[in-house]
A and B are shown apart, each in its own frame.
Chain A
Amino acid sequence: MEKRILKDENDRVDGIFKVTGKAKYFAEYALPGLTYGVLVTSTITKGKITTLNTKAAEKAPGVMAVLSHLNKPSAPGYEQDGGSPLKIFYTDKIFYNGQPIAMVVANTFERATYAASLVEATYTKEQFNTDFDKAVADAKAKKLQGQPDYKRGVEDAYKTAEVKIEEKYHLPIETHNPMELHGMIADWRPNNQLTVYAKTQGVKATQGTIANVFKIPNENIRVNSEFVGGGFGMALRTWPVEIATIMASKYLGKPVKLMLTRMQMFTMVGNRPAAIQTIGLGAKKDGTLTGITHLAFGETSVYENFTEGVVNMAKFMYQCDNVNTQYTVVPVDLGVPIWMRGPGEATGAFALESAIDEMAHALDMDPLEFRIKNDPERDQQRNLPFSDKNIKEAYRIGAQKIGWNERKNKPGSLIEGQWKTGYGVSIGVFNANRGRASVKGILKADGSLVLQSATSDIGPGTGTGMTLIASKLMNIPADRITFELGDSSLPPAPSQGGSATLSTVGSAVNDVCVALKSTIAELAANANMDATSNFVEVLKKNNLPSVEMTKQSQAGKEREAYSMYSFSIHFVKVKVHGLTGVVKVDKIVSVGDSGTIISPKTARSQMVGGAVGGVGMALTEESVIDHRYGRYINNNFADYHVPVNADIPEIEVHFINKPDPYINPMGAKGMGEIALIGFSAAVANAVFNATGKRIRNLPITPDKILAST
């Protein structure tokens, strides 16, 4: 592999590799003797496998093994009781349609695919329900608390307010659908040495999970994941199908590769859970918010529980003395969900930010003005000051750039032929996390610096950001710095999720650079050199080819004294066609308020990607299931609509770019999630402003516009 090198601030360390095909993704490691696994999946939704006939498959050309619960390939962690009930190949239970029940391994992918089609299963079927709406409505259905109830002041205060609204918002299942398909290459060697090439957002987490299941020491496991073709959250855990791949390699003593099909991406690696939310808002006639109630139901599976932060935002985003929230998860017979970009907060923000717009309309107030009026000075939930928050400035910038003054408060006022124009705004917020990470720095006498950490880069530009932090601190040109990641043998770092990597790993880069600098200063003093001498001279004078050190970094007490969040404001202008109901997004302005911007190019690209994802969430994305069969209907790229270029207008991105004084040495906060959170509400609000039609059921497809009165 060539080095990841950055030429200037507007470059990416890996851009050239990605556009020239040199970036190597997990599936591209052509190990000698590689064999291919193909999965057989259940065709019923709930019940038990009664028979599994693998004879024909075993006899098919090139087939080396058929793994299933019949032969239980060795995985000591699965032989114990407890743990996840979906222990692949250790259970005959079927929890959902499309669940993997066997894996055929052959010497070519085509042969494995053919042989997999020969495996025959019979089942005893049980009654099932995959319909989330039905489960929520069913009084007898199982319901679990997803988060402790929250109350501040009077419960349901909105009910007695001067002006009140109470509305229900629906979100369908969405599927992450990164371009790169999920899978793994596993290479189990004698003496329990394992190398895997993975698609993961956390090489250390993957290593830990594998160690647990196979009961081998972490040191025996090397997880490589240098390039990831998009994760959006679905690569935040090690899925049963990855465990199955390792089982197969261990069983056969050969490297095994598994790559899911696009259809399997809908059933084996999670989804954004469906949600039904009720928001009640109360306000005084002058626009002061007096009550917020946020009640949410989220989808989960019957075999494993999944919860996320759907109702978090309601607790602190607006100045309001009376707030109560409740979050309940309801199991259905589908695969377990997982965080999808912006996770639960994006789900919650759709409801809350739509409702805020509805309240502004009820009050006959400009929704921007209404938001500014209720912008909190302190975090009322935790009773702490915000470490850094510049929302009013962000509102001002965004409003000016989108042309908010053209907007009319009365819906349906801007009409040109059949096209109706509208403007919408919303806010996104996400916890500004900072975890614990280690980085090793190797400063060399040839003038270069190598930094290493077992973090990941699923696309946001981690390598670029880290390089820029080091370059600035060390005063070393970026093209002399290499940042190595995606390898579990490097110093530990957490998984890339929750917008925390820049803050967490970046701090460790900072700390190791500071330490290296002081080491150089000491060495300079020892050699009677000037303290400002160049490190190359200092190392040479000391006859050292390099110095290296490792630093661990984590947040201090500031986190208890301040409430730390990243914010984003999204402005959207849409045109809606009166006769056909088609919605065209005409312009997007997103303003990020997330501390110092380390890498302008990759930061912008985060916001652009979030906006595109937001357009998808608002207008096009929905995974459809036929509840009579429990099977997905649109599980392919032709029918599951992610936005295409033609859907995306000009996207303007602006940043406040002021350091947060408390978060970390760089003053920089994460922005992967805020890029998406709230966006869908801005679109829905703009559609309302254009047409007077309030769509509370995503995605806003043309039929819904026509059906709404």
Chain B
Amino acid sequence: MINFQYLRTTTSKSALSLISKDKNAKFLAGGTNLIDLMKRGVATPEKLIDINHVPLKQIELVGDTIIIGALASNTAVAEHPLIKEKLPLLAMALNAGASAQLRNVATVGGNMMQRTRCGYFYDTEMPCNKRQPGSGCGAIGGFNRMHAIFGTSEKCIAVHPSDMCVALIALDAIVVLANPKGERKILFKDFHRLAGDTPQLDNNLKADEMIIRLEISVNQLAKNFHYLKVRDRASYAFALVSVAAALEISADHKITEVRLSMGGVAHKPWRLTASENFLKGKEASATNFEEAAKLAMKDAKGFGENDFKIRMAPNSIIEALTVATSKA
């Protein structure tokens, strides 16, 4: 146990001033990821700034926009009537994550910021470019069954483990960040990064920034949706692959709008833009779903133990689309 200082703050302003003063400080939200990382010696912050008392737990409809505070718990979001009615895909994805106990304390901001579950990243005796840049990637040539098939780099093939984020990228969420100078907005799809040459960076949040809320426009995707999570056990396991699908289907069974994304396949939540473009305006049919799934796999690359994902992923896309469009 390495000593650290624990600070608690009640405003985002003071939280930001604390974090900008100290590059070895970290925000503490639900703590379900950060505390684990500290126990394993992977994260060694000197200061923990507890932000749980900052009033950022709102879940509300303002005009045509749904606002979700960064400190709303995963359970609060998933169980909120507004979310269940207007963003059921998000509720479904959240409920597919972790366990009820974890969801009760895990927050929206923390979920976005959670780090990969790659075993080499967690074991300080192993090489890992994400934990220790330049030390090598243990997963390449090692146990990479859970790892990425899209957008990988020679430095890192880890996946972002979140379920929630797979729904959020499909829903075109906007992330609102605060920094000592003010606020900035960033598209959800631009929040997380690919590993590239800097696998130590998971996302584009700057050191002096804080996630404060999400904004999501109300949409017509609340009827034909599905979140499919394929995993090794029925609960409390990370995705082998997951698919978020939400569509708008016209009376003549044409796809007028479609959002498709995947989890468990890349360093970031993976939006299937080519498949979406293909499906738009087409009939919601098995053949079209198969074609869309095929398109999604264009640049897939396996690393041995995760080769199966190249088969499991398109199958899962087909299944998710089928289930989503069979809802009356």
A: residues with CB less than 8 A from B are 43, 110-111, 113-114, 117, 418, 577, 579-582, 584, 619-620, 624, 626, 628-629, 631, 633-634, 638-639, 641, 643-647, 701-703, 706-707
A706: chain B residues within 8 A (beta carbon): 308, 311-312, 315
Given known pairs A641-B237, A644-B236, the reply for A624 and B143 (CB within 8 Å) is: yes
B240 interfacial by beta-carbon distance below 8 Å:
yes
- CB–CB B312/A580 < 8 A: yes
Annotate B225-241 by CB proximity to A: 1 below 8 A, 0 otherwise.
00010111111111010
- CB–CB A114/B232 < 8 A: no
A579, A701, A707: the one contacting B315 at CB < 8 Å is: A579
- CB–CB A646/B316 < 8 A: no
Q: How far is the CB of A463 from chain B (nearest CB, A)?
A: 31
B41: chain A residues within 8 A (beta carbon): 117
Q: How far is the CB of B91 from chain A (nearest CB, A)?
A: 18
CA distance A603 to B49 in the complex (A): 51
B119 interfacial by beta-carbon distance below 8 Å:
yes
Could you list 10 further interchain pairs (A-B, Cβ under 8 angstroms) beyond the known A114-B3, A706-B312? A114-B2, A117-B2, A579-B319, A580-B312, A638-B238, A646-B233, A703-B145, A703-B240, A703-B308, A706-B315
- CB–CB B233/A641 < 8 A: yes
Given known pairs A114-B2, A418-B319, the reply for A43 and B125 (CB within 8 Å) is: yes
- CB–CB A703/B312 < 8 A: yes
Given known pairs A631-B125, A633-B119, the reply for A702 and B312 (CB within 8 Å) is: yes
B2: chain A residues within 8 A (beta carbon): 114, 117
CA distance A638 to B235 in the complex (A): 11
CA distance A644 to B142 in the complex (A): 27
B123, B230, B318: the one contacting A582 at CB < 8 Å is: B230
B138 interfacial by beta-carbon distance below 8 Å:
yes
Residue of B nearest to A111 (CB): B1
**CB within 8 Å of A: which of B146-197?**
none
- CB–CB B143/A620 < 8 A: no
- CB–CB B235/A645 < 8 A: yes
- CB–CB A646/B1 < 8 A: no
Can you identify 22 A-B contacts, CB atoms within 8 angstroms? A111-B1, A114-B1, A114-B2, A579-B319, A580-B230, A619-B232, A620-B233, A624-B143, A626-B126, A626-B142, A626-B143, A628-B142, A631-B125, A633-B119, A633-B120, A633-B123, A634-B119, A638-B237, A644-B99, A646-B235, A703-B308, A703-B312
Q: How far is the CB of B296 from chain A (nearest CB, A)?
A: 14
B280 interfacial by beta-carbon distance below 8 Å:
no
CA distance A305 to B276 in the complex (A): 59
Q: How far is the CB of B305 from chain A (nearest CB, A)?
A: 9
Most buried by A among B234, B237, B316: B234
- CB–CB B235/A644 < 8 A: yes
B142, B233, B311, B319: the one contacting A619 at CB < 8 Å is: B233
B117 interfacial by beta-carbon distance below 8 Å:
yes
Residue of B nearest to A701 (CB): B232
- CB–CB B316/A110 < 8 A: no
The number of residues on chain B lying at the interface, defined by a beta carbon within 8 Å of a beta carbon of chain A, is: 34
B141 interfacial by beta-carbon distance below 8 Å:
yes
B: residues with CB less than 8 A from A are 1-3, 41, 99, 117, 119-120, 123, 125-126, 138, 141-143, 145, 228, 230-238, 240, 308, 311-312, 315-316, 318-319
- CB–CB A702/B319 < 8 A: no
B237: chain A residues within 8 A (beta carbon): 638, 641
Q: How far is the CB of B239 from chain A (nearest CB, A)?
A: 11
- CB–CB B234/A584 < 8 A: yes
B1, B145, B232, B311: the one contacting A620 at CB < 8 Å is: B232
Residue of A nearest to B228 (CB): A580
B143, B238, B316: the one contacting A580 at CB < 8 Å is: B316
Given known pairs A641-B233, A647-B233, A703-B308, the reply for A628 and B145 (CB within 8 Å) is: no
- CB–CB B1/A113 < 8 A: yes
A638: chain B residues within 8 A (beta carbon): 117, 236-238
CA distance A539 to B117 in the complex (A): 68
B230: chain A residues within 8 A (beta carbon): 580-582, 702
- CB–CB B234/A629 < 8 A: no
CA distance A633 to B123 in the complex (A): 8
Nearest 9 interchain pairs by C-beta: A646-B234, A703-B308, A579-B315, A633-B119, A646-B235, A110-B1, A580-B230, A633-B143, A579-B319
B141: chain A residues within 8 A (beta carbon): 628
B125: chain A residues within 8 A (beta carbon): 43, 629, 631
B315: chain A residues within 8 A (beta carbon): 579-580, 706
CA distance A626 to B142 in the complex (A): 6
Residue of B nearest to A112 (CB): B1
B312: chain A residues within 8 A (beta carbon): 580-581, 702-703, 706
- CB–CB B143/A702 < 8 A: no
Q: How far is the CB of B281 from chain A (nearest CB, A)?
A: 25
- CB–CB B233/A644 < 8 A: yes
Residue of A nearest to B237 (CB): A641
- CB–CB A631/B316 < 8 A: no
- CB–CB A644/B319 < 8 A: no
Residue of B nearest to A418 (CB): B319
Q: How far is the CB of B118 from chain A (nearest CB, A)?
A: 9
CA distance A511 to B132 in the complex (A): 66
A639: chain B residues within 8 A (beta carbon): 117, 119
Most buried by A among B1, B311, B319: B1
A579, A644, A707: the one contacting B316 at CB < 8 Å is: A579
- CB–CB B233/A643 < 8 A: yes
B126: chain A residues within 8 A (beta carbon): 626, 629, 631
CA distance A703 to B231 in the complex (A): 10
B99: chain A residues within 8 A (beta carbon): 644
- CB–CB B308/A641 < 8 A: no
Residue of B nearest to A577 (CB): B319
CA distance A624 to B311 in the complex (A): 23
- CB–CB B308/A707 < 8 A: yes
Given known pairs A580-B230, A582-B230, the reply for A702 and B235 (CB within 8 Å) is: no
Q: How far is the CB of A193 from chain B (nearest CB, A)?
A: 33
Q: How far is the CB of A687 from chain B (nearest CB, A)?
A: 15
CA distance A168 to B234 in the complex (A): 29
Q: How far is the CB of A625 from chain B (nearest CB, A)?
A: 8
Most buried by B among A624, A647, A702: A702
A584: chain B residues within 8 A (beta carbon): 234
